[in-house]
Amino acid sequence: MIVAERLTKRYGTTLAVDNISLAVKRGEIFGFIGPNGAGKTTTIRMLAGVLRPTEGSVLIDGIPMATAPEDAKRVIGFIPDRPFLYEKLTGREFMRFIAELYGIGEEIAREKGDALLIQFSLYDWADHLIESYSHGMKQRLVIASALLHAPRVIIVDEPMVGLDPAGIRMVKDLLRALALSGTTIFMSTHTLEIAQDLCDRIGIIHRGRLVALGTTGDLRGTARLREGDLEEVFLRLTGTEAP
Amino acid sequence: MREGRPAQALPLRRDGGAMDDLLVLLSPRLLSFKNGGVSRSAGNRRVRAALFVAVGLAFWIGAFFLFSRVLNYFQGIEELGDILARKLLSMVLLTFFSLLIFSSIVASLSKLYLSRDLLLVHSLPVTPTKIFLARWLESTVDSSWMVLIFSLPVFLSYGIVYRAGPLFYVTAGLAFLPLCLIASAVSALAVVVLAVLLPAGRIRTVFVFLGLLLVVSLLFVFRLMRPERLVNPDNFANLLMYFREMEAPGSPLLPTTWAYDSLTAALSGLGGETVFHLGIAWSCALALTFIVAWVADAYYFAGYTKAQTSAEKLFPPRGSGPWRKRPFPRLLSGPAWAFTVKEFRTFFRDQTQWPQLFLIAALIVIYLYNFSVLPLGQSKIRAIFLQNIFSFLNMGLATFVLTAIAARFVYPAVSFEGDAFWIVRAAPLSIRTFLWVKFGVYYFPLLLLAEILIVASNLLLRVTPFMMGLSVITVFLMVPGVVALGVGLGAAYPDFRSENPAQSVTSFGGLLFMLTAIGFIAAVIVLEAGPVYRLFMADFTGRSLTALEWLWLVVSFLLVLVTCVLAVVVPMRLGERSLRGDGRD
């Protein structure tokens, strides 16, 4: 569903992402972890088509991002790490804006939009300006709007930031349910418990390179650890172990 | 991995019509504007709008009367009057076009590459060309509306003074629109092409610099042309040469020439010629629209991607050096010193500030140059009298220049903390100390600047020692007031979320700062004017002051002192109280 081939991004003389290749299957939850500045957000933005790679290619559901970006983006629901929302729009107006851009019919957009607003506990606030929302509410609205067009692929950068425990539980359940129904999820996170709990496979990026890929068990093997949780594996593979 | 059935995608429209998508892309802006009335800051917005309308209307009416008066005066000069009026029109059009280019560069750069919602819209299934076109339309409107509104009194005064028919007014509208489109298209073309060519992260700095360079060069050219000579009969010695210079047409390749030709043809009632020149302007505007769309299709997304990259270092990395010893440890606490150092470092490392410093330097040169060319010797009024009146007015003018500089640097100083303001809240430093650090950082350079302005211009005016002393002391007393008003009101109306805090002077608080500072300057000047005039006249006529005049003098100067102290204390307290009470994140 997601295929990245030799993905590379240079910022001037800095190599932010170095020759990353990976494939994520349909219905899979793929976790993408790495230390700060490892190249996670850059990779995610290239996969979502908002950043053009210096080298390499991205295929989303068989659609090449380089030559048919609009078709590829139609399949994706993208949730960035620091999402922007138009503060002077109401939640409902923002959902409608997204629906119109994805070409969703008015009737379906209204029904699906209301259902998502209810699901994300935003219905009572739907006609309030976004400027009056709390950080968590804004995050929930971004996730709701990304699901509006029933994307086949969800690319999400730090989905739990700003959410309360109930919100985190809700999003975790939602991602599981979406994956069960065949949606592919590519997720970056710093919360290793969530990655371990939720993801089928995990990729670890360090200094722009994909240093390990597989299930938690596979990663343990790569790190030459007989036992230990993802945290220990991560610290070993990224060389950031405490002395 | 789950092997469930694939998610059922909603029936999506494959590709929206270009106009539909453009309208949808513009809808957040339109809806935000509509929703402004129900926003939590709606009350503030209404007051701000009323203030804007009042100031704008005053300026509009003033411009109308000024132009009407000048044109009426020109009409009174036989033969030469019409030529002068036409020359003025061509100069005005050139000024408008330069302003349009400058504001278009800034607006299109911001809309196309720097807006915070670009990540969102580029993740949506819309072509970059459609995003570009929607943004370009927005930037065209944003950069043109104000110039358009303030061009109306000029055209109206020409129409009324020259008793033009409806053709002129229709032509004025039809000639100005392509001027806006051409300026916006040329700017967008330059921005799109240079965004691909320029080093990443330097795009904004380079464009701001280029834009300001354009304005500064125009100011210099305009100033060095010495337009005051045009109305001085002494300079009409070689009339033929003067006529020739005045009647020289502009370049036929300049859009302002097409606008000028169509307007003058319409003033003369020549319909055919008007349509011909309008045709040239509109065909160029439409052709440029297609060219800009074509260039954007090829290069916009590449430039956008490049603009996302982090700024490359302008200087090689260097160590932060040893800890600097804190001076005046009794006056400055550790955190206060840390903030002071931070303030200087962030100011001088922010390259967007540098071009502004060049602009200030240019304005100062022009300011002093104006004094050097004042025709004091030609006046019938005794030179010494004029010199001292100018010196007195100069105090007001210099502090007004200072206010304009403070509006750009001091007023946004608190807002510049932006998302990092939590550090101020978390630091072991009181809000009061934080504000006084801000005050101190800007006070000393601005005091130096104001005193240099006042002393240099007084030396050029060759004023009496008394006026020199009075000016230096008055400015010394006024600068703290202007700086405190900037810091205090900037703290009372902070905007920590602004993409560009430097523009916050156009906000409600910014306008309030400008009006209060001007009121403060006017109060001091008015308080000093009466007694100083008496003193000057007494000295001039060789008599001594009466007891009542002495009392007036002392009371006035005491009131000046009180006003200056209040201008420091009140806004600083207001800002402190506001920031302390503002617990929002």
Per-residue confidence in pLDDT tens, chain A, 243 aa: 899 999 999 887 788 899 999 999 999 999 998 888 888 989 998 999 888 899 999 999 999 998 888 888 889 998 887 777 777 788 888 888 888 878 788 888 889 999 999 999 899 988 888 878 888 888 889 899 999 989 999 999 888 877 788 888 888 898 999 999 999 999 998 888 888 888 999 999 988 999 888 888 888 877 777 777 778 788 877 776 544
Same domain, B547 and B457: yes
Q: Is residue B205 part of a domain?
A: yes
Is the Cβ of A107 closer than 8 Å to some Cβ of chain B? Answer: no
In a domain, B28, yes or no: no
Which residues of A are less than 8 Å from B13 in CB distance?
Answer: 103-105
C-alpha–C-alpha distance, residues B341 and B322, integer Å: 13
B262 shares a domain with B138? yes
B262, B292, B307: which is the final residue of a domain? B307
What is the number of domains present in chain B? 2
Query: For residue B334, how far is the Cα from the chain centroid?
Result: 37
Is residue B359 domain-shared with residue B212, that is, in the same domain?
Answer: no
Chain B interface disruption, residue of A15, A65, A70, A175, most B CBs within 10 A: A70
For residues B48-71, average pLDDT: 83
| Least Cα separation, residue A43 to chain B (angstroms) | 13
- Choose from B19, B35, B314 for mutation: most chain A CBs within 10 A: B35
Q: Which residues of B touch A26 (CB under 8 A)?
A: 6
pLDDT at B338: 73
Question: Which of A161-170, B132-141, B230-239, B550-559 has the weakest average pLDDT?
Answer: B230-239
Residues B99 and B196 in one domain: yes
Task: Tell whether the model's pLDDT for residue B151 goes beyond 90.
Answer: no
Q: Average of pLDDT values for B439-467?
A: 87
| Greatest mean pLDDT range, A80-84, B32-36, B301-305, B494-498 | B301-305
| Residue ranges making up the domain that contains B443 | 334-581
**Residue in the block written with tokens 């209307």:** B57
* Residues 288-307 of chain B whose Cβ lies under 8 A from any Cβ of chain A: 301-302, 305
Chain B neighbours among A 163-182 (CB < 8 Å)? 178-182
Q: What pLDDT score does B354 carry?
A: 63
Nearest in space to A89 (alpha carbons), one of B21, B44, B33? B33
CA distance A1 to A79: 18
CB contact under 8 A, B10 and A51: no
Cα dist. B454→B220, B224, B295, B369, B439 in Å? 21, 22, 50, 13, 22
The structure tokens listed for B585 are 């994140």
CA atoms within 13 A on the CB side of B251: 4
B345 and B424 inside one domain: yes
Q: Does A150 touch chain B (CB under 8 A)?
A: yes
Residue A65: phi and psi, rounded to 5, are -65, -30
Which residues of chain A are within 8 Å of residue B419 when distances are taken between CB atoms?
none
Please tell me whether residues B262 and B358 are part of one structural domain.
no
pLDDT at B278: 93
**Whether pLDDT at B454 is above 50:** yes
Does B401 lie in the same domain as B294?
no
Question: What integer is the mean pLDDT of B78-89?
Answer: 79
What mean pLDDT is predicted for residues B441-449? 91
Measure the CA–CA gap between A107 and B10, rounded to whole angstroms: 12
Q: How many CA atoms lie within 13 A of A231 on its CB side?
A: 5
Section B312-327 average pLDDT: 47
SS3 B146: helix
Residues B272 and B402 in one domain: no
The whole-angstrom separation of Cα A113 and Cα A126 is: 10
C-beta atoms of B310 and A105 within 8 A? no
Q: Are residues B275 and B423 in the same domain?
A: no
Q: Is B38 on the interface with A (CB under 8 A)?
A: yes
Residue B186: pLDDT band by 50, 70, 90 thresholds?
very high
pLDDT in tens, B328-350: 656 666 667 777 777 777 777 66
One domain, residues B139 and B240: yes
Residue of B nearest to A28 (CA): B1
pLDDT score for B201:
57
- The separation between CA B140 and the C-alpha centre of its own chain, rounded to angstroms, equals 18
**pLDDT number for residue A233:** 80
Is residue B403 a contact partner of residue B482, using CB atoms and an 8 Å limit? yes
B127–A contact, CB cutoff 8 A: yes
Distance CA A218, CA B194 (A): 48
For residue B389, pLDDT beyond 80: no
Residue B585, pLDDT score: 32
| pLDDT given for residue B415 in this prediction | 87
pLDDT at A2: 93
DSSP designation for B238: S
Over residues B319-323, mean pLDDT:
46
Same domain, B52 and B154: yes
pLDDT band at B181 (very low <50, low <70, confident <90, very high): very high
Across the range B442-462, mean pLDDT stands at: 87
Question: Predicted confidence band at B112 (pLDDT cuts at 50, 70, 90)?
Answer: confident
Q: Residue B37 domain-assigned?
A: no
pLDDT tier at B584 (50, 70, 90 boundaries)?
Answer: very low
Residues B274 and B384 in one domain: no
Lowest-pLDDT range of A106-115, B142-151, B419-428, B511-520: B419-428
Q: What is the pLDDT of residue A106?
A: 81
Give dist(CA B145, CA B134) in Å, integer. 17
Which is it for the CA torsion B190, B192, B195, B196, positive or negative? negative
Q: Is the pLDDT of residue B3 over 50?
A: no
The pLDDT assigned to B42 comes to 59
- Measured between beta carbons, which residues in chain A are less than 8 angstroms from residue B138? none
Report the mean per-residue pLDDT for chain B. Answer: 78
B355 pLDDT tier (thresholds 50, 70, 90): low
In angstroms, the CA A42 to CA A120 distance is 28
B328 part of a folded domain? no
- pLDDT tens sequence across B391-435: 777 888 888 888 888 888 899 888 888 777 767 776 667 788 889
pLDDT surpassing 50 at residue B6: no
Residues of B in contact with A45 (CB under 8 A): 119, 308
**Which residue in A27, A97, A149 is closest to B4 by CB distance?**
A27
Of the given ranges (A230-234, B61-65, B487-491, B562-566), which has the lowest mean pLDDT?
A: A230-234
Phi, psi of B271 (to 5 degrees): -60, -50
pLDDT-derived band at B321 (thresholds 50, 70, 90) equals very low
**Overall average pLDDT of the B432-454 stretch:** 90
Q: May I ask the CATH class of domain A23-237?
A: alpha beta
Instruction: Answer yes or no: are the C-beta atoms of A20 and A34 closer than 8 Å.
Output: no
What integer is the mean pLDDT of B4-18? 50
CA nearest to B417, candidates B303, B511, B354, B496: B496
Helices (H) then strands (E): counts for chain B: 18, 0
pLDDT at B583: 41
Instruction: Pick from A79-88, B12-21, B212-221, B545-554 the range whose average pLDDT is largest.
Output: B545-554
Could you give the CA distance from residue A152 to residue A159 in angstroms, rounded to a whole number? 17
Residue B484 in this model has a pLDDT that exceeds 80? yes
SS3 for chain A is CEEEEEEEEEECCEEEEEEEEEEECCCCEEEEECCCCCCHHHHHHHHCCCCCCCEEEEEECCEECCCCHHHHHHHEEEECCCCCCCCCCEHHHHHHHHHHHCCECHHHHHHHHHHHHHHCCCHHHCCCEHHHCCHHHHHHHHHHHHHCCCCCEEEEECCCCCCCHHHHHHHHHHHHHHHHCCCEEEEECCCHHHHHHHCCEEEEEECCEEEEEECHHHHHHHCCCCCCCHHHHHHHHCCCCCC
- CA–CA gap between residue A32 and residue A202 (Å, rounded): 6
Confidence of residue B86 (pLDDT cuts 50, 70, 90): confident
Residue B23 lies in a domain: no
Give domain status of residue B516, yes or no: yes
The count of CB pairs under 8 A between chains A and B is 143
Whether B477 shows a pLDDT value over 90: the answer reads: yes
pLDDT digit string (tens) for A108-151?
888 999 999 999 989 998 888 887 888 888 888 989 999 998 99
